[in-house]
Structure 1
């Protein structure tokens, strides 16, 4: 492991906030369980050897009882060890995940959106689980192995110091040398696997969510081939990591053989010399067989340490990025500037060419703005940039003089809310889906909001009204009902700026126009900015911005009221009349 990996593991352990007392008791329980195995081997060896001498039965009574007690204790202590160690690990993962979420919540808004969703899912899911496995599969087994090895060497050394020294050397060979081979061999393979698993998550998520678009664009086969190539790399790296692990297992087996054979040879000479009895010889020969049970897991513990260090590095990179961006000095607000100002804005997705700009738009508080234009021209991307979810390629977006990319997600959510076209509907009640925007929404408020978006009749027909459970991602309601439910959620927010992406999608023309007019009528109380294909209801908007392609770039080609655009822009007038 490099110094970077070591520092990452230490920081991750601190973020796990491990219960030290719980970890101690889990180690003690694990050591007691393996100690019972060692004791069982030693006592059984003594009992068999002593019984062969045909002593009085009472001489064997204590040993017989001990065998039974150690056999039961082995199972009991191992069960307690599993409970205690997993409790420590699970609570630690919860603490680490909370720390990651807290850092992201307090970071600039583009930190999360600059990472692919599949990669972000891998870092906050699988990577955190891998760091948590550090407790159960690396730290705890290492501590248990240390305790049990000392116990085993103590038992054997008390009978024969020479054999005890040999056992100590063999245990070090099995518990340190073998795992070092496993670590060195697994380091590159495991590091590559972490990256490949994150890539596979991103590719799989993209295919699940965008299968139709990929099929239409002819890119589905290429995406499937890329996913298959990633899986092949994972299998190859897994096989590469298995070879040094197998070598470590061979070293462990060889060390155990050396210990047993060496104990037999040395013990035989000591028996001949009269310094060791035959019964004691059986004990020193058979006890190492159980002692190596503690060290044989050290190779996998070493590999787990490598895995956890790589996962910890990825998680801490995310935290450090969030904290570094949050620590940047904010642009001093212009107190004379009010409303939302888009200044020479060039937009696009991270690590991709810009798709629109430069754009300049100004909307005062309480006004309503509609953004229209052909499909695929960048309207939704513009909306995500206005919401701070995408960082501008150049230019700026300011609310009341404050640059939105410098605000934390919490600060942004207090002043602005975005309802995307693919916003999620959760598998819970209608009421709780609306409470996503504001947790203190009452049933009466939710019913009134649903009525404002035209869902009164739908609500009255539900079996349990506002408390009816919805299926996963609203699978049991129509597309139009889903859109209106999302609009009700947007209205529940206390944010002053409402950003809405295609609120009339999946609705018939008359219903869509009525909903859009209702949303635009909120002007005065709130600032409404919406993207839409419908032009007819925009006669109630304060301002309409038309995006078009000019010389290969998306720019604002017209802006004004609906009436002004009808009078001066032939294409706008023609499209509006076609709707009618």
Structure 2
């Protein structure tokens, strides 16, 4: 059963039956390594005394057994721990994405798309992997260390006490290493995020930087970001080096102490060799704890970042008096419910006019931050099936208007109605189900073409998906794919051009059968001829859907029914109707 993710509580470590079993298996593997080293030492010294071979058979069999047991139990430990971690990662990713969707886009703050996309994935991976990198090694080291100290104490109690002191000293070093790592981890993560931000900025704006002669400045920004990252990593590495060196010093001191005690124990030479090698083998097993502390500090910092992001209050929530769709009586009339799939039919035909709603904004104002107005007051009516272009300079409120229409942002004043129903008094899911959004950087998943389309139309059959691709102008491209809808895109598959990616996003919108299509600079990165063809295919494939397009360019404006020019959050003049 899927576990619900509480975005305000992301434990970096948790004990489960699977992890405990994996830790015990790892402890047996580590103990086998310690036993292999000490038994081999006993066997070498005893063989040097040249006894009868029959007196060595038990030790020989033990060495072989421990040598085989170590990799076998290590394999079982890895198999068990990774199975638990991957299952946990899949569940947590699902829960994290579910918590992230309501925050998009108004509550993502200043973090760019690359930072959010890669940061959330990497942070969550580090949090989940902490269970494998910290919990399992800690249990294994504890089991093996205590076992080695106990068994050694049976031979010589004094050496057993030395091993026990060695365990305590290593635990103290691990605690100090965790503190050192935690102090530097936040700086390293911030420096890595800055590098990602600068890389995204310079690559996305490469043409503009080249035009204004800013390439050199961009190189300086990137160099400064890397210098900061290098300095942060260097400070972190010094703490790691000190902790690793401390474990070696503890192991060396323990070995010397055991050697001194063994020389006065009165035991024969093979036993003395076993006692001297015991701290050496145990120190090697305990050395993994410094790596575990690094993983713990990194996971803790990543968890804080995730909590800070996912713990925010969504900008848009259902009105307290709105009845959720799941609680409505079956067959109850819903003014916002659209029979999109029924209208489309099995052949993927566009919606009929009566399936497209009328959108109306009256004295509407909205803002991304409390107390700030980025749009309005604005009056705008979009009739069913109408094509409207929204133009204007940066900061004029175009994207804010699209966010309001998609109900990613609620108005701070005025009304937004769909077929005379105020959207703030309607279920959020019902309003968003009316709208398909195509932005300027549509994302292509590393998967099959069918999976990329099913993201918008999970219940659509192949015929509908193929029809959507052809309506988006990808018919010839589809015919050239060897595996058709099963062709794999992205990593490990086919690469696609900017125009094909835009058309794929348009195909998603068409396949979704949603009656309103919102376009945010859909052809911003395409050359003029390609952009003209894409817009023409889009409007033709949209059928009777309403289309609202935000653009800085004049591409496709002659194909629109109306052009609204924005200036400082309001129309700068009357809405222009394009001659037919």
Pairwise same-fold verdict (TM > 0.5) = yes
Change (3 A) 1:319 1:426: closer
The structure whose residues are more often helix, as a share, is: 1
> 1:36-435 to 2 correspondence within 5 Å?
36-107=32-103, 110-112=106-108, 115-174=111-170, 176-271=171-266, 276-321=267-312, 324-325=313-314, 330=319, 339-341=359-361, 343-345=363-365, 357-363=375-381, 366=384, 368-374=386-392, 376=394, 378=396, 380-388=398-406, 391=409, 395=413, 398-400=416-418, 402=422, 411=430, 413-424=432-443, 433-435=452-454
Whole-angstrom distance in 1 between the partners of 2:498 and 2:404:
29
Change (3 A) 1:305 1:439: same
2:511 to 492, 498, 501: 492
Asked whether the equivalents of residues 363 and 369 of structure 1 are also in contact (C-alpha less than 8 Å), the reply is: no
Structure 1 unaligned regions, length at least 5 = 1-6, 567-575
Asked whether the equivalents of residues 12 and 312 of structure 1 are also in contact (C-alpha less than 8 Å), the reply is: yes
Change (3 A) 1:70 1:214: same
Secondary structure of the residue that 2:226 maps to in structure 1?
helix
TM (norm. structure 1) is: 0.78
Q: CA deviation at 1:100?
A: 0.5
Q: CA deviation at 1:78?
A: 2.4
Give the length in aligned residue pairs: 533
Change (3 A) 1:483 1:184: closer
Q: CA deviation at 1:459?
A: 6.3
Secondary structure of the residue that 1:361 maps to in structure 2?
strand
Change (3 A) 1:51 1:191: same
Q: CA deviation at 1:547?
A: 1.5
Secondary structure of the residue that 2:399 maps to in structure 1?
helix
Cα deviation per residue 1:202-225 (whole Å; 9 max; x = unaligned)? Answer: 222233333223333555443432
Cα deviation per residue 1:74-93 (whole Å; 9 max; x = unaligned)? Answer: 22222333333233222222
Asked whether the equivalents of residues 191 and 310 of structure 1 are also in contact (C-alpha less than 8 Å), the reply is: yes
Whole-angstrom distance in 1 between the partners of 2:38 and 2:446:
58
> 1:415-564 to 2 correspondence within 5 Å?
415-424=434-443, 433-450=452-469, 452=471, 458=476, 462=480, 467=485, 469=487, 472=490, 479=499, 486-501=505-520, 506-507=528-529, 515=537, 518=540, 522=544, 526-531=545-550, 533=554, 534-538=556-560, 541=561, 544-549=562-567, 553=568, 555-560=570-575, 562=577
Whole-angstrom distance in 2 between the partners of 1:405 and 1:244:
56
Of the structure 1 ranges 303-312 and 130-139, higher mean CA displacement relative to structure 2 is found in 130-139
Asked whether the equivalents of residues 503 and 516 of structure 1 are also in contact (C-alpha less than 8 Å), the reply is: no
Change (3 A) 1:153 1:342: farther
- Pair member with larger Rg: 1
Asked whether the equivalents of residues 109 and 388 of structure 1 are also in contact (C-alpha less than 8 Å), the reply is: no
Change (3 A) 1:192 1:396: farther
Secondary structure of the residue that 1:194 maps to in structure 2?
helix
Whole-angstrom distance in 1 between the partners of 2:543 and 2:10:
56
Change (3 A) 1:183 1:202: same
TM (norm. structure 2) is: 0.78
Whole-angstrom distance in 1 between the partners of 2:82 and 2:483:
42
Whole-angstrom distance in 2 between the partners of 1:254 and 1:520:
72
Aligned Cα root-mean-square deviation (Å): 4.0
Secondary structure of the residue that 1:11 maps to in structure 2?
coil
Whole-angstrom distance in 2 between the partners of 1:263 and 1:483:
70
Whole-angstrom distance in 2 between the partners of 1:434 and 1:445:
10
Structure 2 unaligned regions, length at least 5 = 1-6, 323-333, 337-357
Asked whether the equivalents of residues 547 and 558 of structure 1 are also in contact (C-alpha less than 8 Å), the reply is: yes
Asked whether the equivalents of residues 392 and 398 of structure 2 are also in contact (C-alpha less than 8 Å), the reply is: no
Whole-angstrom distance in 2 between the partners of 1:254 and 1:453:
68
Change (3 A) 1:221 1:68: same
Q: CA deviation at 1:32?
A: 1.6
Partner residue of 1:573?
A: none
Cα deviation per residue 1:484-533 (whole Å; 9 max; x = unaligned)? Answer: 554443222232322134668744798678557647861xxx44323353
Asked whether the equivalents of residues 318 and 427 of structure 2 are also in contact (C-alpha less than 8 Å), the reply is: no
Q: CA deviation at 1:146?
A: 0.5
